[in-house]
Amino acid sequence: MPETAKLAVSFQVNGQPHTVEAYPMARLLDVLRRDLRLTGAKEGCGEGECGACAVLIDDELVNSCLVPVAQVEGCKITTIEGIAGETLHAVQEAFIECGAAQCGICTPGMVLAAVALLERHSAQPTEDDIRSGLAGNLCRCTGYMRIFEAILQACEKRAGADA
Amino acid sequence: MRSFLPAYDMRVPLELDEALETMAREPGEWKPFAGGTDIMVLLEQGKLADRKFLSIARLKGLRGFTVSDDHVTLGAMMTYRQVQATTILQQEFPLLCRAACETGGIATQNRGTLGGNIANASPAADSPPALLIYDAELELVSAQGARWVPYAGFHVGYKKMNMRPEEMIRNIRLPRTKKNWRQYYRKVGTRRAQAISKVCFAGAALVDNGGITGARIALGSVAPIPLRCRKTEALLQGPLSTEMIQASADQLEREIQPIDDFRSTARYRARVGQKLLEEFLLGLMTTPAGRPA
């Protein structure tokens, strides 16, 4: 069987430029975890159902298990490792305050889905927006209520800060 | 088992001509790859038979949409998120927007494209019933040129399409003729969000003086291909009655070919399809035109 050569792919991750040598169909998830040692994105299902591997590509939420690395040339990628600045992101603070994490496997994806949700809704998202914004992220521990409450709290804090 | 990565190749052309020439040189060898939300699942499962892919994500002219007096034309790389956010689609093609909202979660909607959904040719896909209702047409391009084909008739068997191996879908064109029709879309899956359909139903009807003067019915997940049910449609003429609902539900059962599989049973699919038809018809008397029930 003829073997495909590895490809040099350049992109930004959390503001830092990177070039990796990888097979073109390698999953972005594996490149992040193995080549760049960014193990925040988790593999849950490997088929785009669970959202544990969620990252932002050019500010849009995607499942990194479904993205071949050849397609991210020149893209700007944000992983959970790039969400906090000097201090934690408001969503991260709210997750801690509300006790929205248990085993933690889904947490990076949940936080990224919530960050993307807040970005999409510059006004206050409705409860329905929050539920559909999280529909692609599965959690087997919390029963979702505390995650939901954490996101509500982050939204309310933002609204309070804007007022 | 995972796939052996060195056995797979992907190129990322920037120009459509370059992509089409590659496909023409080795017909059937290179497959267009859009958002990858279906193909990558097969890769991970070790079931991806095709080996060489052309990413069409960077090609110019496959994104965005144009509007003329008669048509709205959508680029094949338009994502489900873009479909949902497009005002003219919300106003005139609400069933397509509903399908786009109900396909996967946000992360899938950000990557998944209309062209990819069509070419993946799953009978359980969510947009095809809407496209059938709207008499969509597809523009297929190859190095030899472009041609328009009606979407009805594009799927000719399970995962088989009326498209040559060197062709790809460039545009999807929707005639602006259903604005005043009453429209209905409902997908039934295991849960409300992000499930693959057990049954997906799209309907539209033109109602005049209390009688039906035109009807469209299309279903997903009830046959090897997305199915427009013309014989059922033919029974939907004139004032709505209990007899009409019963006769059309009986005809629908004869017209679909559902199967038992890991998602549902043939019996359940047939029964739910009939109930969705009934819900659509009963809603006709109360739903305003142009709004999905």
| Domain coordinates in residue numbering, chain B | 8-55, 65-175, 182-283
Domain extent, residue A21, equals 7-82
Q: Which tokens is B7 given?
A: 């056995």
Residue A2 confidence class, pLDDT cut points 50, 70, 90:
confident
Complex ipTM? 0.96
CA distance B77 to chain A (A): 14
Predicted pLDDT of residue B60: 87
How far is A53 from B113, CA to CA, in rounded Å? 20
pLDDT tens-place string over residues B86-138: 999 999 999 999 999 999 999 999 999 999 999 999 998 999 999 999 999 99
**Residue in chain A lying closest to B103 (CA):** A136
CB-CB contact of B200 with B187 (8 Å): yes
pLDDT at B192 over 80: no
CA distance B209 to chain A (A): 37
| Domain-located, residue A2 | no
Does residue A94 sit in the same domain as residue A141?
yes
Among residues A55, A82, A109, which one ends one of the domains? Answer: A82
| Domain-located, residue A138 | yes
CB-CB contact of B78 with B57 (8 Å): no
Predicted pLDDT of residue B210: 78
A30 at B interface, C-beta within 8 A? no
Does residue A61 sit in the same domain as residue A106?
no
**Mean pLDDT of the region A25-46:** 98
Residues from chain B that touch A26, judged by Cβ atoms under 8 A, are: 5
**Mean pLDDT of the region A6-12:** 98
Contacts of residue B201, defined as CB under 8 A and 6 or more positions apart, other chains included, come to B129, B184, B185, B186, B187, B188, B217, B218, B219, B220, B273, B276, B277, B280
pLDDT at B184 over 60: yes
User: Is 3.30.565.10 the CATH classification of the domain at B65-175?
Assistant: no
Among residues A54, A82, A110, which one ends one of the domains? Answer: A82
CB-CB contact of A15 with A83 (8 Å): no
- Cβ–Cβ gap B111/A62 under 8 Å: yes
How far is A52 from A59, CA to CA, in rounded Å? 17
Closest C-alpha among A149, A77, A159 to residue A110: A149
B5 at A interface, C-beta within 8 A? yes
**% pLDDT > 90, chain B:** 89
**Which of A54, A68, A116 is nearest residue B40 as measured by Cβ atoms?**
A68
Predicted pLDDT of residue B262: 86
pLDDT tens-place string over residues A124-162: 899 999 999 999 999 999 999 999 999 999 999 988 887
Q: Which amino acid is at B24?
A: A
Predicted pLDDT of residue B148: 98
Q: Supply the CATH number for residue A142's domain.
A: 1.10.150.120
**Residue in chain B lying closest to A3 (CA):** B6
Q: Which amino acid is at B129?
A: P
- Cβ–Cβ gap B37/A48 under 8 Å: yes
pLDDT at B194 over 90: no
B13 at A interface, C-beta within 8 A? no
**% pLDDT > 70, chain A:** 99
Average pLDDT, chain A: 95
Query: Looking at the 3D structure of chain A, how many domains does it have?
Result: 2
The rounded Cα A126 to chain-centroid distance in angstroms is 21
Average pLDDT, chain B: 94
| Domain-located, residue A64 | yes
Residues from chain A that touch B192, judged by Cβ atoms under 8 A, are: 135
Residue B196 confidence class, pLDDT cut points 50, 70, 90:
confident
Does residue A25 sit in the same domain as residue A77?
yes
pLDDT tens-place string over residues A50-65: 999 999 999 999 999 9
Neighbouring C-beta atoms of residue B175, cutoff 10 Å? 12
Residue with tokens 């990252």: A55
Does residue A61 sit in the same domain as residue A24?
yes
Does residue A129 sit in the same domain as residue A62?
no
**Residue in chain B lying closest to A27 (CA):** B40
Burial of residue B194, with CB atoms counted within 10 A of its CB: 0-12 exposed, 13-18 middle, 19 or more buried: buried
How far is B19 from B166, CA to CA, in rounded Å? 10
Residues from chain B that touch A136, judged by Cβ atoms under 8 A, are: 104-108, 193-194
CA distance A148 to chain B (A): 16
Closest C-alpha among B222, B133, B185, B107 to residue A49: B107
Q: Kind and range of the H or E element at A95?
A: helix A90-98
- Cβ–Cβ gap B40/A131 under 8 Å: no
Residue B287 confidence class, pLDDT cut points 50, 70, 90:
low
CB-CB contact of A67 with B40 (8 Å): yes
**% pLDDT > 70, chain B:** 97
CA distance B46 to chain A (A): 12
Q: Supply the CATH number for residue A75's domain.
A: 3.10.20.30
Does residue A66 sit in the same domain as residue A114?
no
Instruction: Indicate the class that CATH gives domain B182-283.
Output: alpha beta
| Domain-located, residue A35 | yes
Buried b (16+ CB within 10 A) or exposed e, B15-51: ebeebbebbbeeeeebbbbbbbbbbbbebbeeebeeb
- Determine if residue B165 is left, alpha or beta; phi over 0 gives left, psi from -120 to 50 gives alpha, anything else beta: alpha
Buried b (16+ CB within 10 A) or exposed e, A125-152: beeebbebbbbbbbbeebebebbbbbbb
pLDDT at B260 over 60: yes
**% pLDDT > 90, chain A:** 91
**Which of A4, A48, A137 is nearest residue B41 as measured by Cβ atoms?**
A48
Residue A28 confidence class, pLDDT cut points 50, 70, 90:
very high
